[in-house]
């Protein structure tokens, strides 16, 4: 395997804890020939980035990988090719991203902002201390699917629902809302479900999504076995709505896997996530294929299979309303968005969405319901 220089040499295993694999090694091969070091970005901060390389953690200059296109800007989770020497050491290039989390900014000129790259698992934290907001879960699911990552819903504070039957009903409710997604109830008090969660995230890179109070910090601390996240106060946006310096860390989990903390994801925005929305509401898409008219709006059209499903009770009306709301929101964002940027965003990730749907179909087929 002479074209994979890091396949056999010793540095590979130091990066393995950060998620390095044969695929990244293959992408890096041309840079290895130039004598550059591979490394993963653990933090980006105004022109500089902390990168864990085969030489350990270094602070590198990002001037060469800071294009005007906001979606191509270096971010936490990126794999980089770094100069082996220099003061500062320069990051020469970024490897192609497998997945990326982007949010639409609230500025008048709508632009995407990259929050995290190369994420495998999107853990959506939902607190059982308050009433389940299925619509909110659907928004997070859409965002997760759109990124290319596999969502996982974690219901936290399960100890507050002592009745096992009641708990299983809640889990079922969320499972119905999240086709193709594993739903796991956990408790930091009793330890319930935490071993399963640790095993699920041990392979690959994870992010924690969810509203404030959903228990993200507690989950992170549990996975990390430390209070590292305490310093990650919500100081992403200051009082005037301006973006301030943020700390986004990428942390290696003691039980295996990597956790990226992204405070920016606390304010969810959908960015042309039509594919993501479609995936969350896959049962509606399936029904729509049976509508008499190809462009059926499921309003009052004759022969509408979606309305028929609501009529016979097999589709909750809430699901259709939620789907409409997300589609409308999505269209507003699309209308504000520069078409070229969207093209950049979508390139390469459509394939992932297709694979995600295939996985989902397999999982649904295997579920005994």
Q: Closer to Zn ion at the Cβ: 300 or 339?
A: 300
Q: Closer to Zn ion at the Cβ: 98 or 298?
A: 298
CA–CA separation, 309 vs 298, rounded Å? 11
Q: Does 298 bind Zn ion (CB under 5 A)?
A: yes
Contact indicator for 95, 27 with CB cutoff of 8 Å: yes
Contact indicator for 84, 35 with CB cutoff of 8 Å: yes
List CB contacts of 165: < 8 A, sequence separation 6 or more: none
Q: Closer to Zn ion at the Cβ: 117 or 306?
A: 306
CA–CA separation, 290 vs 90, rounded Å? 56
Q: Closer to Zn ion at the Cβ: 71 or 309?
A: 309
> What number of chain residues touch Zn ion (CB under 5 A)?
5
Q: Does 36 bind Zn ion (CB under 5 A)?
A: no
Task: Give the one residue of 304, 309, 320, 341 binding Zn ion; rule: CB under 5 A.
Answer: 304
Residue with tokens 């296109």: 69
Minimum CB distance to Zn ion, residue 291 (Å): 3
Minimum CB distance to Zn ion, residue 312 (Å): 14
Minimum CB distance to Zn ion, residue 278 (Å): 15
Contact indicator for 153, 181 with CB cutoff of 8 Å: yes
Binding positions for Zn ion, 51-90, rule CB under 5 A: none
**What tokens were used for 243?**
């973006």
Binding positions for Zn ion, 268-297, rule CB under 5 A: 291, 296
Q: Does 306 bind Zn ion (CB under 5 A)?
A: yes
Q: Closer to Zn ion at the Cβ: 175 or 301?
A: 301
Minimum CB distance to Zn ion, residue 11 (Å): 56
Contact indicator for 145, 273 with CB cutoff of 8 Å: yes
**DSSP 8-class letter at 97:** P
* Contact string 130-169 vs Zn ion (x = CB under 5 A): ----------------------------------------
The gap between the terminal CA atoms of the chain, to the nearest Å, is 47
Q: Closer to Zn ion at the Cβ: 198 or 310?
A: 310
Minimum CB distance to Zn ion, residue 314 (Å): 14
Minimum CB distance to Zn ion, residue 185 (Å): 35
Distances from the Cα of 32 to the Cαs of 8, 84, 131, 156, in angstroms? 13, 11, 52, 44
Q: Closer to Zn ion at the Cβ: 224 or 305?
A: 305
Q: How far is CA 269 from the centre of its chain?
A: 13
Nearest to 49 by CA among 2, 81, 23, 10: 81
Binding positions for Zn ion, 85-114, rule CB under 5 A: none
Minimum CB distance to Zn ion, residue 287 (Å): 7
Minimum CB distance to Zn ion, residue 294 (Å): 10
Minimum CB distance to Zn ion, residue 288 (Å): 6
Q: Closer to Zn ion at the Cβ: 178 or 306?
A: 306
CA–CA separation, 76 vs 187, rounded Å? 29
Q: Closer to Zn ion at the Cβ: 191 or 303?
A: 303
Q: Closer to Zn ion at the Cβ: 87 or 289?
A: 289
Q: Does 319 bind Zn ion (CB under 5 A)?
A: no
Minimum CB distance to Zn ion, residue 293 (Å): 7
Partners of 200 in the β-ladder: none
List CB contacts of 32: < 8 A, sequence separation 6 or more: 5, 6, 38
| Among the residue ranges 107-115, 235-243, 302-310, 343-351, the one whose residues contact Zn ion (CB under 5 A) | 302-310
Instruction: Count CB-CB contacts under 10 A for residue 119.
Output: 29
3-state DSSP of 179-205: CCCEEEECCCCCCCCHHHHHHHHCCCE
Contact indicator for 132, 102 with CB cutoff of 8 Å: no
Contact residues: Zn ion, CB under 5 A:
291, 296, 298, 304, 306
């Amino acid at each position: 395997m002479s074209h994979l220089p890091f396949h056999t040499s010793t540095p590979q295993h130091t990066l393995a804890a950060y998620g390095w694999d044969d695929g990244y090694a293959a992408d890096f091969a041309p840079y290895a020939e130039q004598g550059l070091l591979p490394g993963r970005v653990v933090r980006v901060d105004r022109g500089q980035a902390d990168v864990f390389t085969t030489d350990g953690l270094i602070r590198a200059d990002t001037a060469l990988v800071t294009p005007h296109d906001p979606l191509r800007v270096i971010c936490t989770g990126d794999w980089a090719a770094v100069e082996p020497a220099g003061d500062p050491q320069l990051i020469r290039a970024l490897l192609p991203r497998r997945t990326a989390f982007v949010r639409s900014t609230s500025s008048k000129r709508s632009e995407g902002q990259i929050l995290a790259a190369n994420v495998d698992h999107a853990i959506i934290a939902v607190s059982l201390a308050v009433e389940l907001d299925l619509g909110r879960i659907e928004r997070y699911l859409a965002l997760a699917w759109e990124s290319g990552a596999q969502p996982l819903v974690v219901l936290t504070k399960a100890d507050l629902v002592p009745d096992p039957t009641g708990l299983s009903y809640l889990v079922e409710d969320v499972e119905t809302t999240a086709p193709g997604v594993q739903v796991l109830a956990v408790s930091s008090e009793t330890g319930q479900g935490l071993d399963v969660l640790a095993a699920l995230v041990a392979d690959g890179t994870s992010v924690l999504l969810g509203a404030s109070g959903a228990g993200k910090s507690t989950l992170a601390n549990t996975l990390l076995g430390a209070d590292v996240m305490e310093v990650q106060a919500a100081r992403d946006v200051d009082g005037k709505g301006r973006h301030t310096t943020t700390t986004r860390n990428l942390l290696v989990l003691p039980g295996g896997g990597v956790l990226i903390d992204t405070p920016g994801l606390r304010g969810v925005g959908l960015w042309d996530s039509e594919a993501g929305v479609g995936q969350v509401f896959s049962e509606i898409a399936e029904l729509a294929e049976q509508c008499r008219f190809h462009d059926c709006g499921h309003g009052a059209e004759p022969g509408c299979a979606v309305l028929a499903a609501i009529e016979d009770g097999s589709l909750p009306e809430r699901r259709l309303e939620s789907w409409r709301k997300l589609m409308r929101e999505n269209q507003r964002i699309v209308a504000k968005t520069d078409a070229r940027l969207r093209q950049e965003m979508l390139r390469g990730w459509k394939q992932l969405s297709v694979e995600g749907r295939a996985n989902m179909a397999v999982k649904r087929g295997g579920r005994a319901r």
